[in-house]
């Protein structure tokens, strides 16, 4: 709306207490009593027993080194096992279906040990958060693990995983993060900055006619534009060298995966019954792109969708500032709203020629299932989210929010 400016443009497990010296019970004590044991008492006859001969003593002396050696071996094995536990950490539980596979994960800045454990567990790198936290504590690594992109082997020893996190990011993968609400042109700039593919090459490749045969949902795209279809997501291209074509196909594949499960036909039938208007799949994406650029919260999305459908039902213009923001790529002033453009929804009825950005799944769902309201106007800033049924209510809402006289629409 003209008045809808203010755009967003390691904890150790408790151990049992250590056992004290064992108390010996003197079996020679009176029944029902106990006392600390003194020197061992012989029971039975000792009179008349011959002293041990020298041969017996010599046999005992030959066995002593063997016994000592065995004891040393047992103790040494225990020391080695204990050292391995400290240095490598406890082995991971079994059950990871992707054990042995390399998994790419991103550790965000400021992530705590618990956060990292959860990220690794969710990604299938570790099977047990507790074991990971214990390994972090054993290595005193709680404050030395680093954020960034990692390639980690699922099911690897947790101590080695912690060691890598302390060493720092090791990923050689090429990643591309496309935010919700970007235009094709802005997407090209991000692709160039992230992957080194020239923006002009990406734009030259980003034509609907090049991909319509492989992606039927592009059959209704206007102006040979992929606007609205380059799905916002973080893409990982591994160690390969992506091209403009492979990047675009990855985005279209993701669109098909995310949006393909939505029942457009059923929703469009319900919209026709409720509002008396016929909308196509392409109309839904065009509206979703407007919602994406106008809304600040998920709650806003479904309300804005209702405003637009109510306006269409009453034959009103959509009057969305965001559609002219697509043209100017900058502030939308009163003068801008007077400028002739097929994207000026103050001067032209219905939807703009193409979507104006890549909408989120939430905005597409809002366009398919709007709130049931009578709203015709809205005023949204960073601090104000006001929806009105009449123009008078709309003006009062703006005046109350700005301390002024309202604004013409």
pLDDT tens column, 298-335: 899 999 999 999 999 999 999 999 999 999 998 999 99
Within a domain: residue 329? yes
Task: Examine the pLDDT at 383 and tell me if it is beyond 90.
Answer: no
Within a domain: residue 211? yes
Structure tokens at 252: 């279209």
Task: Examine the pLDDT at 66 and tell me if it is beyond 60.
Answer: no
pLDDT tens column, 207-226: 999 999 999 999 999 999 99
**Residue 48's pLDDT is what?**
39
Residue 187 and residue 145 share a domain: no
Could you tell me the sign of the dihedral formed by the alpha carbons of 212, 232, 107, 173, in that order?
positive
SS3 per-residue string spanning 13-72: CCCCCCCCCCCCCCCCCCCCCCCCCCCCCCCCCCCCCCCCCHHHHHHHHHHHHHHHHHHH
Within a domain: residue 108? yes
Q: Which of 259, 288, 305 is the last residue of a domain?
A: 259
Task: Examine the pLDDT at 362 and tell me if it is beyond 70.
Answer: yes
Structure tokens at 200: 């002009």
**Residue 141's pLDDT is what?**
95
Mean pLDDT of the chain: 82
Residue 201 and residue 138 share a domain: no
Within a domain: residue 141? yes
* Domain count along the chain: 3
pLDDT tens column, 104-121: 898 988 999 999 999 999
Residue 220 and residue 152 share a domain: no
Residue 368 and residue 313 share a domain: yes
Rg of the Cα atoms in the chain: 36
Within a domain: residue 61? no
Residue 213 and residue 124 share a domain: no
Q: What CA–CA distance (Å, rounded) separates 266 from 97?
A: 38
CATH of the domain at 149: 3.30.1490.480
Q: Facing residues of 386 across strands?
A: 379
More confident residue, 47 or 75: 75
Q: What CA–CA distance (Å, rounded) separates 305 from 295?
A: 10
Residue 224 and residue 149 share a domain: no
Within a domain: residue 322? yes
Residue 95: pLDDT band by 50, 70, 90 thresholds? low
Around Cβ 28, how many Cβ atoms within 10 Å? 10
Q: Which of 167, 183, 209 is the last residue of a domain?
A: 167
Instruction: Specify the 3-state DSSP secondary structure of 105.
Output: strand
Task: Phi first, then psi: give them for residue 236, nearest 5 degrees.
Answer: -120, 115
Residue 191 and residue 149 share a domain: no
Structure tokens at 29: 């004590």
DSSP secondary structure letter of residue 211:
T
Residue 218 and residue 146 share a domain: no
Within a domain: residue 321? yes
Within a domain: residue 5? no
Residue 287 and residue 352 share a domain: yes
Residue 223 sits in which domain range? 175-259
pLDDT tens column, 19-64: 333 333 333 333 333 333 443 333 333 333 344 444 344 445 555 6
Residue 68: pLDDT band by 50, 70, 90 thresholds? low
Residue 191 and residue 161 share a domain: no
């Amino acid at each position: 709306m003209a008045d809808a400016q203010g755009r967003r443009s390691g904890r150790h497990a408790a151990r049992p207490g250590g056992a004290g010296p064992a108390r010996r019970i003197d079996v020679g004590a009176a029944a029902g009593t106990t006392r600390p044991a003194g020197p061992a008492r012989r029971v039975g006859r000792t009179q008349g027993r011959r002293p041990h001969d020298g041969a017996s003593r010599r046999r005992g002396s030959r066995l002593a080194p063997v016994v000592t050696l065995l004891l040393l071996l047992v103790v040494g094995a225990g020391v080695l096992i204990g050292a391995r536990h400290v240095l490598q950490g406890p082995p991971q539980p079994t059950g990871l279906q992707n054990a042995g596979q390399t998994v790419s994960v991103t550790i965000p800045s400021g992530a705590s040990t618990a956060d990292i454990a959860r990220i690794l567990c969710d990604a299938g790198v570790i099977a047990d958060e507790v074991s990971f936290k214990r390994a972090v504590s054993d290595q005193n690594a709680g404050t030395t693990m680093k954020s960034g992109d990692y390639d980690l082997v699922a099911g690897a020893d947790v101590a080695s995983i912690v060691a890598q996190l302390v060493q720092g990011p090791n990923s050689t993968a090429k990643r591309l993060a496309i935010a919700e609400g970007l235009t094709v042109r802005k997407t090209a700039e991000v692709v160039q900055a992230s992957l080194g593919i020239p923006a002009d090459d990406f734009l030259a490749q980003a034509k609907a006619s090049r991909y319509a045969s492989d992606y039927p949902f592009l059959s209704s795209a206007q102006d040979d534009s992929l606007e609205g279809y380059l799905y916002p997501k973080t893409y990982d291209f591994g160690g390969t060298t992506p091209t403009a074509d492979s990047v675009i196909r990855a985005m279209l594949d993701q669109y098909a995966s995310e949006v393909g499960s939505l029942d457009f036909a059923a929703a469009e039938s319900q919209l026709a019954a409720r509002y008396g208007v016929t909308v196509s799949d392409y109309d839904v994406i065009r509206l979703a792109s407007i919602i994406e650029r106008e809304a600040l919260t998920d709650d806003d999305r479904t309300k804005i969708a209702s405003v637009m459908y109510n306006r269409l039902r009453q034959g009103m213009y959509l009057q969305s500032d965001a559609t002219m923001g697509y043209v100017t790529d900058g502030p939308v002033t009163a003068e801008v709203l007077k400028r002739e453009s097929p994207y000026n929804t103050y001067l032209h009825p219905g939807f703009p020629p193409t979507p104006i950005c890549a909408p989120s799944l939430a905005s597409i769902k809002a366009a398919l299932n709007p709130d049931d309201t009578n709203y015709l106007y809205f005023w949204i800033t960073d601090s104000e989210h006001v929806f009105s049924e009449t123009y008078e209510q709309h003006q009062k809402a703006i005046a109350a929010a700005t301390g002024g006289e309202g604004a013409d629409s």
